[in-house]
Structure 1
Amino acid sequence: MYLGKIVEEGPTDSLFSTPLHPYTQALLSAVPTPNPQIKKNRIILKGDIPSPLNLPVGCVFHTRCPYMKDKYKSVTPLKKEVSKRHFVACHLH
């Protein structure tokens, strides 16, 4: 969920093994591992966090999306089932 909008949902094993939305990917990259010897590629999001009182038009994540294209500013992505019970609302899928 990002700014009150569901961007990805599905079975836990599917979400953790194959996160599809860039926000889900960034969140999971921030989860610490119990072994300090294992290095993870942390995804650091850039851009402005919009006000939840004044949501952006189009994709709510477009101000921080590393894959942002102009259409994301005006077209809201539809929720799609990409695998069994795994849904994502993202223009990339």
Structure 2
Amino acid sequence: MEAWLTGTRAELDAAVAALADLGHVIQQGQRWPMGGVDVGRYRLYLRLAVATAAGRHRPALDTGTDAGGELIDLTAARALRRPA
């Protein structure tokens, strides 16, 4: 799986941590600062190896088409990482 992430340093840290819980990070690019109205935000390339479960049901996207994408709830993923 490959993804370009865009956000603040804290948002990127949280997103990478949540995505790393789903698979193995193969490649993580450098954070590239954005300009203009996006000053303070960065772009980051991430490549992960994600295991798939055969026969796993995947709900359709809200757009009515399922092009293989899946919504990840980062808030819920972060909650799972917090020690009790």
Whether TM exceeds 0.5 here: the answer is: no
TM-score w.r.t. length of structure 2: 0.26
Going by fraction, where is strand more abundant, 1 or 2? 2
Going by fraction, where is helix more abundant, 1 or 2? 2
TM-score w.r.t. length of structure 1: 0.25
